Amino acid sequence: MELIYSSLALVGAGQTGWGPLLLSAAAMTIGVSVCGFLAGTVIGSVVTFMQLSPHMAVRWLADCYTTILRGVPDLLIIYLFYFGGSSLLGSVGGLFGYHGFIGMPAFLTGTLALGVVSAAYQAEVFRGAFKSVARGEIEAASAVGMRPWPKFRRIIAPLVLRYAIPGLGNTWQLVLKESALISVTGLVELLRQSQIAAGSTRRPFEFYLTAVILYLVITWVSSILFRKMEVRTTQGIRRAL
């Protein structure tokens, strides 16, 4: 019993507890994951348009993007962004007379790396969702003289989003887990903070178990939100049935 009380005090919010730091790190995990996911949504949408292009060369470029980014280890992508970005910043600094090392900001590195990787997966989700849209609905909008942009905004986009939400939920879970890799750049997210606390106290089990619980809580809340979004976007279908 004394061991349990000691463990709770260690991860709690008391004077000797690491609770506030762990919660702050969990917020950092959510922040970098959300930014990376949104960046991936933007990039993935562009890649999807390229995949659906009538030009073979554009489709080939999009297929190369999705194939390469899904085939290369995510940690390697993070290293490329961090060291490549740092080299670029160092070159720019050299133009102004500074010849020291300029590190790429860890949060920006995480956002970009998670964004370009998740974009490859989101592009496939959007492409599959677009192909699930009944051709008749798009043709009906064209038949009444609807212009391309209003047709996309009012007809195509809502239908694609309806079919894409389950796949996007899975991609979000992938991004959330990949955010732990960003710790190699120095970003103090949940896993990194757990490692720091475990090393400082030499009590790794308590902190890694706490990290597991916090990750599961984030995942559980995320699943609820995506499920509600899915229900909301399918209300019309449910009423029709």
Query: CA 154, CA 157: separation in Å to the nearest integer?
Result: 7
Query: CA 238, CA 225: separation in Å to the nearest integer?
Result: 19
Q: Is the pLDDT of residue 113 over 50?
A: yes
Q: Are 233 and 161 in contact (CB under 8 A)?
A: yes
The residues, ordered by sequence, that sit 6+ positions from 12 with a Cβ below 8 Å of its Cβ are: 19
CA distances from 102 to 48, 89, 91, 112, 125 (A): 35, 6, 9, 17, 37
Minimum mean pLDDT range among 12-16, 25-29, 59-63, 178-182: 12-16
- State the chain's mean pLDDT as an integer: 87
Q: Is the pLDDT of residue 241 over 50?
A: no
What tens digit of pLDDT does each residue of 61-109 get? 999 999 999 999 999 999 999 999 888 888 888 777 777 778 789 999 9
Contacts 24+ apart (CB under 8 A), 124-127: 124/66, 124/167, 125/44, 125/164, 125/167, 125/168, 125/171, 126/44, 126/45, 126/48, 126/160, 126/164, 127/48, 127/51, 127/52
Place of tokens 């993935």: 44
Query: CA 144, CA 52: separation in Å to the nearest integer?
Result: 23
- Residue 8: which of 198, 196, 16, 190 has the closest Cα? 16
**215-225: b (≥16 Cβ within 10 Å) or e:** beebeeebeee
* pTM (two decimals): 0.90
Query: Could you say which DSSP state residue 101 is in?
Result: -
What tens digit of pLDDT does each residue of 117-138 get? 999 999 999 999 988 887 777 7
Token reading at 8: 């709770």
